[in-house]
Structure 1
């Protein structure tokens, strides 16, 4: 799948399981070095908010069920 370039000003980005583990900024962002890399547990609740830039990531398909 081709990387889509996003401005760091985009506030909601939909991601898929292929993007896990998720971190912000993502390699596809134009200003990928705009703040320190932070890993976001988007698979837990189906969404995660970056504490640095405020970008909301939404996991397409929702949270991932964990079995034992």
Structure 2
């Protein structure tokens, strides 16, 4: 049986602010497209309940909901 290997397309926690869309929800940091090997544990952020702006408690990256 062959295993599926997912390669991240961007480095984790490389920016201070990220714009996200409703299609990206549920929101987590680091994002699924980010490399996890050099990052912090995944944490889910309640961006809708936070008024469209959430900050990661680990890396302080700010996520802004744009739609």
Normalising by structure 2, we get a TM-score of: 0.74
Which of the two has higher C-alpha Rg? 2
Map of 1:60 onto structure 2:
66
Within a 5 Å distance, the mapping from 1:26-45 to structure 2 comes to 26-30=31-35, 32-33=36-37, 34-44=39-49, 45=51
CA distance in 1, matches of 2:46, 2:30: 14
Structure 2 gaps of 5+ residues are 1-8
- Whether 1:13 aligns to 2:34 is no
Normalising by structure 1, we get a TM-score of: 0.73
Higher helix share: 1
Q: How many residues align?
A: 58
CA distance in 2, matches of 1:13, 1:27: 13
